[in-house]
């Protein structure tokens, strides 16, 4: 890719990291955690998915430890949220949902690309893209002693899965990486937004419960 595309990608990546860190910090505050807990959940939510992916594809130490800017941004976002949670709490839900869908799309696509670049087979690359997108939120929920939200409700992980699958398929069909990423990210974003708008949810097998 050209230098300009690279910079756009880097800026987007950093923006996604900051956004997920803010969401982790808000979850920590709602859970009554102290300042250290807020910092840990900011880090885990923003970078946990990428760390898991890097461990799984054999790329340790993960990017989040090699490049100090990622943890620094996650911690800065966590501290800022701790200090200004009253302000963050007033961001309209619709805006937050839209930004989150954009971050999810970006992480899913970036994770898929990294896995494919390391010769992970296509089927597993799709899993790695999905984990990059939703792994941070899953770690956050586990640390809050809750069943991860993505396992229970909403079309969220499914959107990440779709984006990763579309990107992988496009790459396999010979589409240039930048367009494959656009197609995958677009598919993830569109499915997520439509499912929020239409209140879609995945099926459960209610008869078995209780």
Q: Which CB, 44 or 109, lies closer to its own copies?
A: 44
Q: Binding of its own copies at residue 94 (CB under 8 A)?
A: no
Q: Which CB, 162 or 183, lies closer to its own copies?
A: 162
CB atoms under 10 Å from CB of 37, counted, come to 18
Cβ of residue 172: shortest distance to its own copies, in angstroms? 13
Choose among 108, 132, 115: nearest CA to 46.
132
For residue 17, the number of C-alpha atoms closer than 13 Å in the C-beta half-sphere is 23
> How many chain residues bind its own copies (CB under 8 A)?
61
Q: Which CB, 112 or 158, lies closer to its own copies?
A: 158
Determine the Cα–Cα distance for residues 100 and 98; give it in Å rounded to an integer: 5
- Are 200 and 194 in contact by the 8 Å Cβ rule? The answer is yes
Which residues inside 56-85 make contact with its own copies, applying CB under 8 A? 56-58, 60-62, 65-68, 71-72, 82, 85
- Are 44 and 139 in contact by the 8 Å Cβ rule? The answer is yes
Which residues inside 1-40 make contact with its own copies, applying CB under 8 A? 28-37, 40
Determine the Cα–Cα distance for residues 16 and 105; give it in Å rounded to an integer: 10
3-state secondary structure of 27: helix
Which residues inside 116-135 make contact with its own copies, applying CB under 8 A? 120-124, 127-128
Which residues inside 132-191 make contact with its own copies, applying CB under 8 A? 138, 142-148, 150-153, 157-158, 161
Instruction: Report in angstroms the alpha-carbon separations of 81 from 27, 38, 74.
Output: 11, 9, 11
- Per CB under 8 A, residues contacting its own copies are 28-37, 40-41, 51, 55-58, 60-62, 65-68, 71-72, 82, 85-86, 89, 120-124, 127-128, 138, 142-148, 150-153, 157-158, 161, 201-209
């Amino acid at each position: 890719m050209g230098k300009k595309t690279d910079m756009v990608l880097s800026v987007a990546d950093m923006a996604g990291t900051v956004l997920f860190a803010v969401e982790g910090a808000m979850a920590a505050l709602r859970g009554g955690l102290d300042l250290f807990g807020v910092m840990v959940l900011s880090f885990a939510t923003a970078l946990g998915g990428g760390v898991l992916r890097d461990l799984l594809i054999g790329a340790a130490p993960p990017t989040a430890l090699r490049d100090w800017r990622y943890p620094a941004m996650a911690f800065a976002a966590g501290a800022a949220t701790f200090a200004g949670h009253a302000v963050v709490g007033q961001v309209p839900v619709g805006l937050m949902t839209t930004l989150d869908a954009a971050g999810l799309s970006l992480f899913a696509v970036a994770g898929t690309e990294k896995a494919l670049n390391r010769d992970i087979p296509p089927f597993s690359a799709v899993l790695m893209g999905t984990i990059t997108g939703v792994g941070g939120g899953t770690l956050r929920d586990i640390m809050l002693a809750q069943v991860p939200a993505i396992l229970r409700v909403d079309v969220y992980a499914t959107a990440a899965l779709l984006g990763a699958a579309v990107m992988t398929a496009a790459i396999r069909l010979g589409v240039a990486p930048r367009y494959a990423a656009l197609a995958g990210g677009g598919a993830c974003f569109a499915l997520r937004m439509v499912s929020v708008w239409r209140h879609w949810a995945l099926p459960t097998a209610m008869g078995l419960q209780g």
